């Protein structure tokens, strides 16, 4: 059985409808759009954009 932060992040990712595969708009750094691509090892959302993978450190995230 997994324990600690990795297990918590894995469980959150399994149960969240926004963590993977959703088209999102992020309101940080002037705003950008992409597809949610899971969480990094710190729990921040990763978003695949036309320019590459970005990590959302702050700001709003909403579905398009």
What is the pLDDT, as a whole number, of residue 12? 73
The domain tally of the chain equals 1
Number of helices (H), then strands (E), in the chain: 1, 5
* Average pLDDT along the chain, 64 residues, taken 10 residues at a time: 70 77 93 94 93 94 92
pLDDT at 14: 77
Answer for the pair 47, 30: CB distance below 8 angstroms, yes or no: no
Which residues span the domain enclosing 36? 4-63
- Residue 42 is part of a domain; what is its CATH number? 2.30.30.100
* pLDDT at site 51: 96
- pTM as predicted: 0.80
Residues facing residue 61 across a β-bridge = 26
Strand ranges (E), 1-64: 20-26, 32-39, 45-49, 52-55, 61-63
Q: Report pLDDT for 1.
A: 42
């Amino acid at each position: 059985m997994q324990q600690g932060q990795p297990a918590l992040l894995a469980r959150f990712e399994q149960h969240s409808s926004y963590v993977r595969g959703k088209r999102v708009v992020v309101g940080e750094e002037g705003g950008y759009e992409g597809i949610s691509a899971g969480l990094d090892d710190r729990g921040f959302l990763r978003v695949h954009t036309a320019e590459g993978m970005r990590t959302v450190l702050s700001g709003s995230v909403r579905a398009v």
